[in-house]
Amino acid sequence: MKFSISVKLFSLIATLVLLGCILCACGSSASQGTNPELTPTPTNTAVVPTLQPSPGGADYVELVYFHRTQQCYSCRYAGDTTKYTVETYFADELASGKLVFKKVDVQDKANASIAERYGAYGSSLFINEIIDGIDHIEPVTDIWYQIGDDDEFIQVVKDVIEKHLGNI
């Protein structure tokens, strides 16, 4: 019994330390290189949609990566690898409007309404099934455990997108 509590407590502390490290690193302005195989991040700070959904109220899935203006390595990696995954594995869904991908700077006042809609305040990934015009927003947190592991990170993103596309 005591061993189980100790393991749970250790896991909680380790998770909090990891989260603290990620959050502290995100405030750093130090520049590090990103994976050269991945598509570079656009430099403007406005919402950067890959494709907008078709007008007419069709159901679709929206994947939104929120970031701060200054990004640490992990945040740039997450944004770049998510964009790479979407554009590489879901090009048909992007072209048809079934899937929309956006990168949004939460510190840009022009993006305040979308950040508020998603409840985003820093680096985070959300997936939203928009069905009959109603949001069904979920955070995608498993990506943060896969930073630096391209295959695993890509698989997490692919799995969550496929799951939600299957629901519309």
Distances in whole angstroms, Cα of residue 58 to Cα of each of 3, 53, 69, 79, 162:
52, 8, 32, 27, 18
Domain membership of residue 71 as a residue range: 2-165
CA-nearest of 57, 75, 90 to 160 is 90
pTM for this model (two decimals): 0.69
Count the domains in the chain: 1
* Other beta carbons less than 10 A from residue 164's beta carbon: 20
**pLDDT above 70 (res 154):** yes
Tell me what pLDDT residue 58 has.
Answer: 84
**pLDDT above 90 (res 12):** no
**Residue 139 is encoded by which pair of tokens?**
């955070």
Tell me what pLDDT residue 61 has.
Answer: 97
Tens digits of per-residue pLDDT, 72-94? 999 999 999 999 999 999 999 99
- Ranked by mean pLDDT, the top range of 26-30, 45-49, 146-150 is 146-150
In one letter, which amino acid is 20? G
Whole-number average pLDDT of the chain: 80
CATH no. for residue 48? 3.40.30.10
- Residue 163's pLDDT band, with cuts at 50, 70 and 90, is very high
